[in-house]
Amino acid sequence: MIASSDSSTAGAGPERRRGLAASVSGPVAGSPDGLAVAGATNLDARLIALGAPAEILAEVRGLARASGAGMVDLLLQKKVLPEPALLAALGEEYGIPFWEALPTDRIDTGFTALFSIQYLKKQKMVPLDTPQGFVVAVNDPTHFQASDDLCRLLGRPERLVILATQDEIHAAINLAYDLSRSTAKEFFQGMNEESTDSLISEIEETGDLLDETSDAPIIKLVNLLLSGAIKDRASDIHIEPYQGNVKIRYRIDGILYDILSLPRKIHSPLVSRVKIMAKLNIAEKRLPQDGRIEIKVADRSVDIRVSTIPTAFGERVVLRLLDKTSSILMLSDLGMDNRKVGIFNRLIKSPYGIVLVTGPTGSGKTTTLYAALTSINQPAVNIITIEDPIEYQIDGIGQIQVNPKIDLTFAQGLRSIVRQDPDVILVGEIRDRETAEIAIQSSLTGHLVFSTLHTNDAASAVTRLIDMGIEPFLVTSSVIAIIAQRLVRVLCPKCKEAYTPDDESLANLGIDKNQPDRHPLYRKQGCAACMNTGYRGRTAIFEILILDDPLKRLILKTSDANQIQDEAMKRGMTNLLSDGARKVMAGVTTIEEVFRVTRILKRETDLET
Ligand SMILES: [Zn+2]
């Protein structure tokens, strides 16, 4: 429908514009007002033919009249039909095309200066330049006013109105606002050599690192690095000095990317500025230092751990960003299939025992444990943690920060926690025999203990505990389950590409090439939405080893991780690789990604054979 906001279409408007929210007298069935009629309508007939229950449609009509709420919202809330089917039906009814996907490759971000992101998300609409011309994508075909206003303000009365799902509209809005913000990377790419030089000479001239005005060039540079990192969802910023230059790198979804290379002379003022922000000693350059910075960026409170170490070319600085306002995941969001969620749910409701989560640094162990704590967190349960660092603050949970400077270690903290009559204890990590022994003691005296160990797979955690000097019978009488996990990057939904993999890759992944229900697999491409990486976000793969009686008997006989692993697999455990294979089959991630995060496992086996 080509509509314009001038009077000619407005003439057809007053009737049409009321939509479901208004009460309307006697429109013709099949007219856009049809849905507002008390009796059955053409749209109802369409929806019923698609499987929508008639009584729910009647209820929605009543609700819409009473509350003035949007029709599409109500129909979706009541799960009358899946959103695409519903929108397709509405589109036919209203003569508005429904687009399953919004083309965002030539997005014009001009509108981001005129409208707040919240407004557009609330109205669920986005203007886009597409190969078919200028369109306004809306989710609710009855919201004429908002899209008319939008086009008038943009000075583009001629437009095609189309319907799109909420997710597609939200993604397009996010992308437009992301692209319109200048990041550190763009800032530097956009600058020619002259202006880079002028910023650098400005930094040298100003020299005054205590100058807190935000337009001091070095402050501008550090602020750009920080805001760029947050915008790009980076978890770490690395400042690395080399002989001829300083490299700035961001870690995004677990992978380090080179962001920019700065002249060597910028290193000293840059590092000094970061050290001042973190309240570190700027004169001390020969010893490692740790500090923290708290900043607010766009209403988000970000806690930054700063660590410096001396290297041959000067101090190397790593800033680890912890977004305190990012929400804690629910168990169902971790990436476990339904069966594993069920098992995990039962485990974390055990009255006592130890549940261990294992994996290398950055494998999402803390996220899993926080999700567990959140799901069992209620006033009747006393939960206390000792952590390093406290990554999120959870209401209703006592959280203690490890502090070696005052001898508050995991072991020491745990000892004190036990005296506080807890039901559930989280020990950030078991690193030594002392901590392991107190954890076991606590579980044997009726506490549920969560902790982590740095091992590659679940079975190796048993071996690790025994190597620490823990008697096998203490392991089997306290540990109830061990979870191993890794994070895999999720394929960008905008650009992932279906393909047919070769038989060898499938075999390596443990997928039978003759399997009858073989789906197409997906591989990465790269587009604006994923900064050309082909991935956006991460999810976890898991193996859950339950210490049942046969396994306990085996552990009492041997601490050989391979034997324990084999027995667990025989008893139905899916290992990391096969859990990864499932996510590859489901089009969530790629074969390469699963191999990347599990290759340590492969290498170990290769060495042994
Ligand atoms: Zn992409």
β partners of residue 451 = 356, 427
> If you average pLDDT over residues 282-299, what whole number do you get?
85
Lowest-confidence range among 11-25, 64-78, 528-542?
11-25
State the Cα angle at 524 between 180 and 135, rounded to 5°. 40
* Residues whose CB falls within 8 Å of the CB of residue 522, separated by 6 or more in sequence, listed in order: 491, 496, 497, 498, 499, 587, 590
- Residue predicted with more confidence, 308 or 230: 308
Cα 334 to averaged position of ligand 1 atoms, centre (Å): 22
> If you average pLDDT over residues 43-69, what whole number do you get?
83
> If you average pLDDT over residues 488-506, what whole number do you get?
89
Q: What percent of the chain has pLDDT over 70?
A: 83
CA dist., res. 71 & res. 553, Å (int): 61
* pLDDT at position 521 over 60: yes
- Residue predicted with more confidence, 171 or 402: 402
Cα 244 to averaged position of ligand 1 atoms, centre (Å): 34
* pLDDT at position 555 over 90: yes
pLDDT tier for residue 453 given thresholds of 50, 70 and 90: very high
Cα 497 to averaged position of ligand 1 atoms, centre (Å): 10
Cα 566 to averaged position of ligand 1 atoms, centre (Å): 39
Cα 178 to averaged position of ligand 1 atoms, centre (Å): 14
Write down the mean pLDDT value for the chain.
82
180-187, Cβ contacts within 8 angstroms, sequence gap of 24 or more: 180/109, 180/112, 180/113, 181/231, 183/224, 183/227, 183/228, 183/231, 183/232, 184/224, 184/225, 184/227, 184/228, 184/229, 184/248, 184/259, 184/260, 185/228, 185/232, 185/259, 185/260, 187/224, 187/228
Cα 297 to averaged position of ligand 1 atoms, centre (Å): 26
The DSSP element (H or E) to which 28 belongs, if any, is none
pLDDT of 4: 40
Cα 84 to averaged position of ligand 1 atoms, centre (Å): 22
Give me the sign of the Cα torsion angle 111, 117, 123, 129: positive
* pLDDT at position 33 over 70: no
Structure confidence by residue, pLDDT tens digits, 304-344: 999 999 999 999 999 999 876 666 788 888 999 999 999 99
pLDDT of 570: 93
Lowest-confidence range among 47-61, 99-113, 247-261, 352-366?
99-113
Cα 34 to averaged position of ligand 1 atoms, centre (Å): 40
What are the helix (H) ranges across 333-486? 338-347, 365-376, 410-418, 433-444, 458-467, 472-478
Cα 524 to averaged position of ligand 1 atoms, centre (Å): 8
Cα 305 to averaged position of ligand 1 atoms, centre (Å): 30
- Residue predicted with more confidence, 58 or 178: 58
Cα 329 to averaged position of ligand 1 atoms, centre (Å): 24
- Cβ neighbours around 312 below 10 Å, total: 8
Cα 505 to averaged position of ligand 1 atoms, centre (Å): 23
CA dist., res. 138 & res. 126, Å (int): 7
Which of 367, 419, 355 lies closest to 394, judged by CA?
367
Structure confidence by residue, pLDDT tens digits, 138-177: 998 887 788 888 888 888 878 889 999 998 898 888 777 7
For helices 410-418 and 433-444, give the axis angle rounded to 10 degrees: 20
Helices (H) and strands (E) in the chain, counts: 24, 19
Cα 535 to averaged position of ligand 1 atoms, centre (Å): 6
**Coil vs helix vs strand at 280:** coil
Cα 232 to averaged position of ligand 1 atoms, centre (Å): 14
Residue bearing tokens 């692993």? 565
The segment with the largest mean pLDDT, out of 198-207, 265-274, 512-521, is 265-274
CA dist., res. 402 & res. 5, Å (int): 62
Judged on CB neighbours under 10 Å (0-12, 13-18, 19+), 484 is buried
**Coil vs helix vs strand at 563:** helix
| Residue 16 in tokens | 């049409």
Residues with beta carbon < 5 A to ion ligand 1? Answer: 492, 494-495, 527, 529-530
Lowest-confidence range among 18-32, 39-53, 54-68?
18-32
Cα 533 to averaged position of ligand 1 atoms, centre (Å): 7
Cα 257 to averaged position of ligand 1 atoms, centre (Å): 16
DSSP-derived secondary structure letter, 22: S
Cα 107 to averaged position of ligand 1 atoms, centre (Å): 14
CA dist., res. 173 & res. 481, Å (int): 43
pLDDT of 607: 42
- Residue predicted with more confidence, 517 or 14: 517
pLDDT of 469: 95
Cα 602 to averaged position of ligand 1 atoms, centre (Å): 29
pLDDT tier for residue 386 given thresholds of 50, 70 and 90: very high
Cα 266 to averaged position of ligand 1 atoms, centre (Å): 34
Let me know: does 446 contact 412? Beta carbons within 8 Å.
Answer: no
- Residue predicted with more confidence, 21 or 380: 380
pLDDT tier for residue 229 given thresholds of 50, 70 and 90: confident
Cα 174 to averaged position of ligand 1 atoms, centre (Å): 14
CA dist., res. 7 & res. 472, Å (int): 83
Which of 146, 151, 129 lies closest to 5, judged by CA?
151
DSSP string of 69-127, one letter each residue: --HHHHHHHTTSS-HHHHHHHHHHHHT--B-SS---TT--GGGGGTS-HHHHHHHTEEE
Cα 520 to averaged position of ligand 1 atoms, centre (Å): 18
pLDDT tier for residue 233 given thresholds of 50, 70 and 90: confident
Cα 172 to averaged position of ligand 1 atoms, centre (Å): 13
Task: Write the single-letter amino acid at 148.
Answer: D
Cα 254 to averaged position of ligand 1 atoms, centre (Å): 17
Cα 598 to averaged position of ligand 1 atoms, centre (Å): 24
> If you average pLDDT over residues 470-493, what whole number do you get?
96
Lowest-confidence range among 186-195, 348-357, 520-529?
186-195
> If you average pLDDT over residues 253-259, what whole number do you get?
81
CA dist., res. 167 & res. 183, Å (int): 25
DSSP-derived secondary structure letter, 152: H
Q: What are phi and psi of 336, to 5 degrees?
A: -80, 145
- Start-to-end C-alpha separation, the chain: 67
| Residue 115 in tokens | 């409208």
pLDDT of 352: 95
Cα 527 to averaged position of ligand 1 atoms, centre (Å): 4
Task: Write the single-letter amino acid at 314.
Answer: G
- Would you say the pTM of this structure is higher than 0.75? no
| Residue 402 in tokens | 């490890």
* pLDDT at position 24 over 80: no
Structure confidence by residue, pLDDT tens digits, 408-427: 999 999 999 988 899 999 99
Cα 233 to averaged position of ligand 1 atoms, centre (Å): 15
Q: What percent of the chain has pLDDT over 90?
A: 43
Task: Count how many Cα atoms sit within 13 Å of the Cα of residue 267 in the half-sphere of its side chain.
Answer: 23
Cα 326 to averaged position of ligand 1 atoms, centre (Å): 23
Cα 335 to averaged position of ligand 1 atoms, centre (Å): 21
Cα 235 to averaged position of ligand 1 atoms, centre (Å): 20
pLDDT of 121: 84
* pLDDT at position 563 over 50: yes
pLDDT tier for residue 606 given thresholds of 50, 70 and 90: very low
| Residue 467 in tokens | 């190597």
- Residue predicted with more confidence, 211 or 446: 446
> If you average pLDDT over residues 176-183, what whole number do you get?
61
- Cβ neighbours around 253 below 10 Å, total: 20
Cα 253 to averaged position of ligand 1 atoms, centre (Å): 14
* pLDDT at position 526 over 80: yes
pLDDT of 105: 72
Residue bearing tokens 């500025």? 273
Cα 325 to averaged position of ligand 1 atoms, centre (Å): 26
Tell how strand 521-523 and strand 497-499 pair up. Answer: antiparallel
Cα 495 to averaged position of ligand 1 atoms, centre (Å): 4
Cα 387 to averaged position of ligand 1 atoms, centre (Å): 36
330-348 burial, b for 16+ CB within 10 Å, e for fewer? ebeebbbeeebbebbeebb
Cα 173 to averaged position of ligand 1 atoms, centre (Å): 15
